[in-house]
Structure 1
């Protein structure tokens, strides 16, 4: 077999929830994909798959980047279509968790697989070796486990589970494909029950359930304490179980019960009685609209495990314990939890302690290194820090001593002592590598070439601090710098905003313009990129506060003009300015990207001109860009026909829910690059600058004049707005804002076809923006957004 298999065509076997969503993510990434299932007993032979594809369009969160991508999945069945497998480079089996069913399927498909094809099972708990033992001999070196997390589009983690016979080059090839084509974080897991993330994550949930009962903590209070306050997702513990599905959670627990009989924690691998009763009643969580939580009308209820009855939800943790969780220093925070007599504090310490105890004892058995444990939990369960790095941040030896003290006192869930390797060290993560208990040594990161594309990969506590290079220029809101390492050399500077949520204020505007001037003096271009999402939430409304409160509207108008100047500086820079975006790109952040020579956007970039939410209109060049693009795309034809979709995107604050949808709306250009792995953004953005420079980059020619839709175009749009107002879809003030946007984007009070220039539309933007800003309802919207971080529709 050749060392490199180019994975161009993939078959997914099984059109259930996971199989269909894996297929969806494959076509998101532009991979030719077949989705197989049994032949339907009635109707079309591919009826089962066709129903699954139809369901994909309805799921939330959306598994497809756009609903039309469902048409790219080729339906197939095991009865008549097995010969199609011969053209596939990768076959992912994702049928029900039955060993006998899986083995029967492998023998059925084996004669049809290409000699180079990889066969991978997406089992979440079955032994990979047990499956491999039943695979035809010629397939064993091409067989492995590949465990996607649900939902596959959004969950970063994929566990890759190799066996001794699995071809090493094949695994490297598959990991490269997963990382760069599908945008995943890959952890190579050992073939142990539930592998790595579920083994630890589910144990953590079981420990939380155990201690909630021990200390008498209500489930809603548990969720209030074990969510973002602990650096974990909003769904916390019990909401997470509802989202995953109580039956799915119970299945994973049952796997641990049946396959880990010798485990020191085995007595705790059980489904609680209250959970078993919910499952018997068909209350499986979110998918059945009732589980640990349920709604009664608009009232949210939560299960009281002691009585088996539902009570009104909404209780929060005590102020005393919430104050402890706000302590910034991890070591001080953990000490305070241990010292507090409050039951909620004792509960939290017990939950953390038992997870730390568990991962220390299990490390050698379940993972190659502590790094794999931490990334598996961060990427698979959404923790901001994995268990080992949390321990290390809290003071390794002090925590180890506290755990040992509790073990000796019989307070832990298991009496097993901490392993010897825990003592006499400062932690498990160092600049030289992370500790491997099975090898008793530090191990470095993967040397696969694909990871050279990640110039600033995810970091763990204790690792070497990332080197953000030499500063070329900075003010209190931006930093222009030169990375010390990049794929093509040390030649493309980067501009990063240092403001909260990368909001754009006066110093960001000045900084962008200065960075462009510096780049023009001798660099091939400039990348605007931030190490963390979001790209930008837009204009810094709070910074306008003093001028706003004193009625100094002249100062605000000057800032709006400067915003427009900055967008134009980006667009007409002598060297290419490339935006590298991930997360939110709202308002002014979106407008900056619209003016870049090119954008490299992570697939999960949510982009939009959302100014109507604060009672304003896009005034950083967004209206102008859409007016100009409509004129060019109409090519002398009906400008309004092109413009109306652009207009509606602004008037309804439409946000692209993926970079692809952002392209479809028009916020991003077709020539912009969509990346699946956000960790590759800077590498690719710098490469784009080099490519543009190498081909003799010239800024776009400034149009002397272009036609607009004029007052008749605005009148047509206003007619649509009247219908929306009368239909109750928009408020009277939404209508007023919509009229202002319409009159700007159609060129103002001029005849249709009148030739204008960019400055004409920019002037209209400024005037109408300021007119709205002076109105009471806009001011109400701005204040509400600042106070509540959500829009007011007044």
Structure 2
């Protein structure tokens, strides 16, 4: 049975960049949080913390899931407020990376720490063991290392580092709290310099820098080749260094330089002269508006390390190498890279070869098993596959043989031989577990009860494939399925980015009918984000190009019918959302009996971006909600914010903000760990069914703001047009939305039903679709994947 971690109040010591952002994410999760720092020398004693919180409000991406969360951070200082620690269940120290400063602080706070409280130091590389030896004895069993990645709200990885004193129950409680309350992926690391992710991730970047210099490959070409083409983030290598900060990168490297003197790769633990020169000039990357890359107007320049000058960026990898990277079979891909004479192919092979040699050599020292290495790199550095997974997928023994041959030939960065265990296994990941070099065994996953909430946890290559149940119903658009022993079926879209076309609409309606006949309810869920990017515009292409607008109108009517089928199903239909829920995807959420949304859900009615208006019931639902919330009062006063959300294509940047805008309701549930949303959604279906769920009663009539409401909105639009905030065509679309959501050409207060508004939606949608400027917006979106404001 799942056991909650009994952590109700948390203190964060240190209001620097990381400490403040950790505090921000704690209050996002509704945790009572106190942020400490030194007392200010002048004025308000909490001035340092106050300034830190004010800075959080300006940061992008936003550390807070809602701007209002900033007010939830309690401010304190070490001078007068240490007694506030007595009520805290967890204390996270996040001051500067100085061992002596940290130990001084521990001695200072020790008398005020509760007997049950956990003390964790947030550090990226200091020895947790050395810190533990200096921690007051009464705290040692409750002390550990914790390493959040920056920015803490968005980065999934947290490394936990126990000491020889740490009590297992305390670490389990902290892992449970981090996993389900803060939504993190926890990896337990050994107490070695930079732990797992930074140790390997930074070595990979150093290897990339080394081989780029050796083979004379431009930095922008390196980034083109080591980004998405290699299954890594768009920031790739050198842009990542700029984002992290060159000074921060150099600090992590120095930790390896200072603490790993006997490492076979020690000679490479240094930042190159060109980077040191940038650091000395204060060109630290993104935070100083320039580093390896620099933007001048619309032009982006990249450093040429040979001259120290900036040159126009934008060069791409050779076509031959890009073609190799498109090879789907990993064994064929890496064999082709290895055998190619193209310097860029040799570069990519050398980078991976040296990382593979490195992780094999160090596995037993830095991690409990290979799975922890792969998850650390995936979650901390954004690789689609971890390095061990890539090796195993490319053919374990063939890669090992190639690496050994190149070690013998003196081609690798280090002459260190692959450890003997490499040749005794045929891969590090199996259905039974992942290899531990320290124990020469395969380690199963954690059995902590919190992971029972993750029905389909993240997996590694070579592990057992997820089994998504037995098919109940399937067509070209959806698959409805049920796990063995379960009672709540799931429907999953099969379309790209879970876009909504005719097969999805047909499949959803059929799935609801089946659920009504045989099950307590239905969950709409996808293993991967997004929830849905909305209508499949490309599928409208043939009808659009031939001018068959009747066919498109029928599809819009089917969209509306599907939304209403979801809303008025005789069993609860619960939507489990993560990532984007745009347009029609948002409308499905609005019509569900309940939504279970991951915190990082980005929700919006964005049809204006393609010159249209919400026509899957979004306008109707906002008109109905405004009427109900007004309770006989001023409908327009309630409606105006809903209207602006649609007219400005406002996207909620968190599920919490989705509630504030109105895309989600107060009864909808926000879950911090996206891997738990299916469990929670199915639980919601059961709870609603057990409570005797009844479909909503269709309103016979509800009041609308009418033509006077639309006229008021039109006046505001004119002001925005004259002020240059919107284009003439934005104004035209805005008027159409206003007239629909206000109920059309009727008196204020007129009672209409849902079909009335749906008809208006459909008519105005089709009217816009026939306009040249809307057609331009649609084509631009399809070709460029971004909106055109014409």
Shift of 1:425: 2.6
Aligned residue for 1:334, secondary structure, equals: helix
Pairing partner for 2:599 from 599, 603, 606: 603
Shift of 1:476: 1.0
Quote the residue 1:405 is aligned against. Answer: 405
2-structure distance, mates of 1:411, 1:673:
55
Quote the residue 2:662 is aligned against. Answer: 666
Quote the residue 2:777 is aligned against. Answer: 781
Quote the residue 1:90 is aligned against. Answer: 90
Is the contact between residue 340 and residue 346 of structure 2 (CA under 8 Å) also seen in structure 1?
yes
Shift of 1:313: 1.2
Quote the residue 2:168 is aligned against. Answer: 168
1:727 matched to 2:723 = yes
Shift of 1:424: 4.0
Quote the residue 2:540 is aligned against. Answer: 544
Shift of 1:297: 2.8
1:752 matched to 2:748 = yes
Is the contact between residue 4 and residue 176 of structure 2 (CA under 8 Å) also seen in structure 1?
no
1-structure distance, mates of 2:29, 2:243:
26
Quote the residue 1:37 is aligned against. Answer: 37
1:247 matched to 2:254 = no
Quote the residue 1:526 is aligned against. Answer: 522
1:564 matched to 2:560 = yes
Shift of 1:299: 1.9
Is the contact between residue 505 and residue 543 of structure 1 (CA under 8 Å) also seen in structure 2?
yes
2-structure distance, mates of 1:5, 1:257:
38
Q: Give the unaligned 5+ runs of structure 2.
A: none
1:701 matched to 2:680 = no
1-structure distance, mates of 2:320, 2:693:
60
Within-5 A mapping of 1:137-176: 137-176=137-176
2-structure distance, mates of 1:51, 1:59:
13
For residues 656-685 of structure 1, give each alpha carbon's deviation from its aligned partner in whole angstroms, at most 9, with x where no partner exists: 000000110000001000000000011000
2-structure distance, mates of 1:729, 1:332:
53
Quote the residue 1:771 is aligned against. Answer: 767
Is the contact between residue 623 and residue 704 of structure 2 (CA under 8 Å) also seen in structure 1?
yes
Shift of 1:306: 1.0
Quote the residue 1:628 is aligned against. Answer: 624
Quote the residue 2:316 is aligned against. Answer: 316
Within-5 A mapping of 1:493-508: 493-508=489-504
Shift of 1:483: 1.8
2-structure distance, mates of 1:297, 1:520:
58
Quote the residue 1:189 is aligned against. Answer: 189
Shift of 1:143: 0.2
For residues 164-186 of structure 1, give each alpha carbon's deviation from its aligned partner in whole angstroms, at most 9, with x where no partner exists: 21010110010000000000000
2-structure distance, mates of 1:271, 1:344:
22
For residues 3-41 of structure 1, give each alpha carbon's deviation from its aligned partner in whole angstroms, at most 9, with x where no partner exists: 986100000000000000000000000000000000001
2-structure distance, mates of 1:477, 1:565:
16
Is the contact between residue 129 and residue 164 of structure 2 (CA under 8 Å) also seen in structure 1?
no
Shift of 1:515: 0.4
Report the number of matched residues.
788
Give the stretch that moved more between structures: 550-559 or 180-189: 550-559
Quote the residue 2:427 is aligned against. Answer: 427
Shift of 1:426: 2.1
1:741 matched to 2:737 = yes
Shift of 1:298: 2.5
1-structure distance, mates of 2:177, 2:424:
40
Quote the residue 1:288 is aligned against. Answer: 288
Q: Give the unaligned 5+ runs of structure 1.
A: none
1-structure distance, mates of 2:401, 2:608:
56
Shift of 1:71: 0.6
Quote the residue 1:200 is aligned against. Answer: 200
Shift of 1:700: 0.7
1-structure distance, mates of 2:356, 2:541:
47
2-structure distance, mates of 1:4, 1:164:
25
For residues 326-361 of structure 1, give each alpha carbon's deviation from its aligned partner in whole angstroms, at most 9, with x where no partner exists: 111111110110111011000000000000000000
Is the contact between residue 397 and residue 424 of structure 1 (CA under 8 Å) also seen in structure 2?
no
Within-5 A mapping of 1:274-673: 274-484=274-484, 490-673=486-669
Is the contact between residue 482 and residue 489 of structure 2 (CA under 8 Å) also seen in structure 1?
yes
2-structure distance, mates of 1:240, 1:27:
28
Shift of 1:742: 0.3
Change (3 A) 1:524 1:717: same
Aligned residue for 2:651, secondary structure, equals: coil
2-structure distance, mates of 1:276, 1:551:
61
Aligned residue for 2:652, secondary structure, equals: coil
Shift of 1:793: 0.7
Is the contact between residue 242 and residue 291 of structure 1 (CA under 8 Å) also seen in structure 2?
yes
Is the contact between residue 124 and residue 147 of structure 1 (CA under 8 Å) also seen in structure 2?
yes
Quote the residue 2:220 is aligned against. Answer: 220
2-structure distance, mates of 1:227, 1:483:
36
Quote the residue 1:209 is aligned against. Answer: 209
Quote the residue 1:112 is aligned against. Answer: 112
Is the contact between residue 567 and residue 695 of structure 2 (CA under 8 Å) also seen in structure 1?
yes
Aligned residue for 2:178, secondary structure, equals: helix
Aligned residue for 1:294, secondary structure, equals: strand
Is the contact between residue 185 and residue 379 of structure 1 (CA under 8 Å) also seen in structure 2?
yes
Is the contact between residue 4 and residue 177 of structure 2 (CA under 8 Å) also seen in structure 1?
no
Shift of 1:549: 1.1
Aligned residue for 1:423, secondary structure, equals: helix
> Taking structure 2 as the reference length, what is the TM-score of the superposition?
0.99
Is the contact between residue 9 and residue 32 of structure 1 (CA under 8 Å) also seen in structure 2?
yes
Is the contact between residue 4 and residue 170 of structure 1 (CA under 8 Å) also seen in structure 2?
no
1-structure distance, mates of 2:470, 2:343:
50
1-structure distance, mates of 2:537, 2:12:
48
Is the contact between residue 710 and residue 748 of structure 1 (CA under 8 Å) also seen in structure 2?
yes
For residues 564-597 of structure 1, give each alpha carbon's deviation from its aligned partner in whole angstroms, at most 9, with x where no partner exists: 0000000000000000000000000000000000
2-structure distance, mates of 1:426, 1:617:
56
2-structure distance, mates of 1:417, 1:172:
37
> Taking structure 1 as the reference length, what is the TM-score of the superposition?
0.99
